[in-house]
Structure 1
């Protein structure tokens, strides 16, 4: 388990990163990548959508282009304060402070679930994916963006020491263990040489 796959350390990390996050984020996860991912999620007007690990609201902003019923959750109050400044605390988005592995919602609540740049900090990612499946309606679309595993052995050792990086094979194992039957993976990159993201789009099974 990587250093930042600890909830206390991750909260402390984001206390400081939140001050520069919106300036750094476009280098690894930009508007073009977000638009491409939103096309895969295929949110329709009126869909109730959950953003797990919303951070400063970059993914939330994209979701609002498709539906007005957006709910956003994060464990870092410092990240969420940046999102509050963009959207208000109750105006356009319903915000919740909470844990991706213990979502504070009833079963079968959401028409779609989005999570970008969050799974790499979950100590138990399969548990988080199960929670997403629980709160999403049968047949709902789920999209999860995480960091793709690097090819270099040196970078792999560094990545493993920090947080969760994973490839398509490991994503298969995680989603299967979490109870998903249908899913596909896409590799995204802001520009040549920048870190790659692995974006998985899954369908919540009917049972």
Structure 2
């Protein structure tokens, strides 16, 4: 487990990163990548969407272009303060401070679930993905963006010491163990040589669905 896959360390990390997060983030996860993922997400006006690990609200802003019923959750008070400055505490977004592995919402509370740039800090990703499935209505989309596993052996060792990096095979395992049956993974990258994101689009099983995991149809 990487040093930042610890809730207390991650909160301390973001206490300082929150000051420059909006400046640094576009070099890793920019608007073009976010908007492409939003197309795959396929939400509609009026859908209630949960943004887990919302941070300062970069993805939240994109979600609001598609629906006006967005809920944001983050464990970092400092990141949320930045988001409050953009959207207010309850004006355009219902913000909550909380844990991805223990979501403070009832079953089937949301039409869709989004999380970008958060899974790498989850000590138990499978538990958090089960929570995503629990709070999202059957048939609803779950989109998760995380860091793709480095191809360089040396960098891979360093990455593993810091936080969770994973490849498509590991993503298959996590989503299947969490109870998802239909999902696919896509690689996104700002430019050649820059960090790669692995974006998974899953679908919450309908009641009585088969247990075998199959890819979902290409939403493009």
TM-score (structure 1 length as normaliser): 0.99
Q: Secondary structure at the match of 1:159?
A: helix
Partner in structure 2 of residue 77 of structure 1: 77
CA distance in 1, matches of 2:17, 2:169: 30
SS of 1:38's equivalent in the other structure is helix
**CA distance in structure 2 between the partners assigned to 1:118 and 1:176 by the alignment:** 19
| Distance (whole Å) between structure 1 residues aligned to residue 152 and residue 194 of structure 2 | 14
Q: Which runs of 4+ in 1 moved over 3 A?
A: none
More strand by share: 1
Pair 1:58-2:58 in alignment:
yes
Given the alignment of the two structures, is residue 30 of structure 1 paired with residue 30 of structure 2, yes or no?
A: yes
5+ residue gaps, structure 1: none
Aligned to 2:160: 160
* Deviation per residue, 1:77-115 (Å, 9 max, x gap): 000001000001110000000000000000011000000
What SS is found at the alignment partner of 2:180? coil
1:19 lines up with 2:19 in the alignment: yes
| Count of residue correspondences | 207
Q: Which residue of 1 aligns with 2:89?
A: 89
Instruction: Give the structure 1 partner of residue 45 of structure 2.
Output: 45
Measured in 2, the distance between the counterparts of 1:186 and 1:64 equals 23
Q: Which residue of 2 aligns with 1:141?
A: 141
Q: Which residue of 2 aligns with 1:112?
A: 112
Q: CA deviation at 1:188?
A: 0.2
Please list every run of 5 or more consecutive structure 2 residues that lacks an aligned counterpart in the other structure: 208-220
1:155: Cα distance to partner?
Answer: 0.6
CA-atom RMSD in angstroms? 0.4
- Give the Å deviation of 1:187: 0.2
2:7 match: 7
Q: Distance in 2 between matches of 1:80 and 1:62?
A: 17
